[in-house]
């Protein structure tokens, strides 16, 4: 039941992101009507300007540490970031089951991204890095954006002693369905 609800939520988020993305693209492709009576709507930013200056373009699902795991990043407004990590449990915490770890905090300043997850099963993640253009050629392509930086795994033992392990990571944005 929990897994089917989770799949539904992921599917709904992907659809919502795709709808917003395609609406933005349609607005960019629309030609002016030439109707002088109506005030002109502000022109949307070009994709290259949007890449450099608009955090919402960074919203989406990115790969995580293992195949099948991912991190969902949602830029709420200018700097506020929400999301979660969905990962496989290990031998100490729900082996083989999906564990969802909500962001406890998240912030985007320009292209600098930082987030920290809640502790689940004795493990929390902290990411500090940047959102950069990846190898994807067009918006919606796999790896159009990538998260590059340092991921720290904070592991708490039975005595509440926390051990940190850091590694450099590159998480690729999942492809978005084209309409």
Reported as a single tens digit per residue, the pLDDT across 38-89 is 444 433 333 343 444 467 899 999 999 999 999 999 999 778 999 999 998 8
Which pLDDT value is given to residue 56? Answer: 85
The C-alpha angle 118, 126, 169, rounded to 5 degrees, equals 135
C-alpha span between 116 and 127 (Å, rounded): 6
pLDDT at 30 over 70: no
pLDDT at 29 over 80: no
Higher pLDDT, residue 92 or 10: 92
The pLDDT of 168-174, averaged and rounded, is: 98
Which segments within the chain are labelled E, that is strand? 60-63, 70-75, 81-88, 98-109, 112-117, 123-133, 145-156, 162-172
The pLDDT of 148-175, averaged and rounded, is: 96
Quote the pTM value.
Answer: 0.68
Higher pLDDT, residue 176 or 132: 132
Which pLDDT value is given to residue 114? Answer: 97
Which pLDDT value is given to residue 121? Answer: 86
User: Is 118 within 8 Å of 102 (Cβ atoms)?
Assistant: yes
C-alpha span between 79 and 74 (Å, rounded): 10
Query: Hey, what are 46's tokens?
Result: 């070009």
Higher pLDDT, residue 133 or 20: 133
pLDDT at 4 over 80: no
C-alpha span between 121 and 87 (Å, rounded): 11
User: Is 28 within 8 Å of 44 (Cβ atoms)?
Assistant: yes
The stretches of 72-121 forming alpha helices (DSSP H) are none
Which pLDDT value is given to residue 123? Answer: 94
The residue whose two tokens read 């050629």 is: 137
Quick count: other Cβ atoms within 10 Å of Cβ 82? 15
Query: Hey, what are 52's tokens?
Result: 């450099």
Instruction: Look up residue 46 and give its DSSP letter.
Output: P
Task: Output the average pLDDT for the chain.
Answer: 77
Which pLDDT value is given to residue 79? Answer: 82
Beta bridge partners of 85: 71, 101
The pLDDT of 8-17, averaged and rounded, is: 45
CATH number of 2-29+45-172: 2.40.128.30
Question: For a pLDDT cut of 90, what percent of the chain falls above it?
Answer: 55
Judged by phi (left if over 0) then psi (alpha if -120 to 50, else beta), residue 122 lies in left
| Least confident stretch, 14-18, 70-74, 99-103 | 14-18
User: Is 147 within 8 Å of 62 (Cβ atoms)?
Assistant: yes
């Amino acid at each position: 039941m929990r897994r089917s609800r989770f799949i539904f939520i992921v599917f709904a988020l992907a659809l919502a992101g795709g709808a917003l993305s395609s609406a933005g693209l349609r607005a960019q492709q629309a030609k002016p009507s030439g109707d002088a009576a109506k005030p002109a709507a502000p022109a949307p930013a070009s994709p290259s300007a949007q890449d450099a200056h608009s955090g919402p373009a960074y919203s989406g699902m990115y790969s995580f540490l293992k195949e099948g795991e991912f991190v969902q990043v949602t830029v709420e407004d200018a700097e506020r970031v929400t999301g979660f990590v969905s990962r496989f449990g290990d031998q100490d915490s729900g082996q083989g089951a999906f564990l969802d770890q909500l962001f406890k905090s998240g912030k985007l300043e320009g292209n600098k991204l930082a987030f920290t997850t809640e502790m689940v099963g004795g493990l929390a993640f902290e990411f500090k890095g940047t959102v950069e253009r990846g190898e994807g050629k067009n918006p919606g392509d796999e790896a159009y954006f990538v998260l590059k930086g340092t991921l720290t795994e904070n592991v708490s033992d039975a005595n509440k002693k926390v051990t940190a392990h850091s590694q450099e990571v590159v998480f690729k944005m999942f492809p978005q369905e084209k309409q």
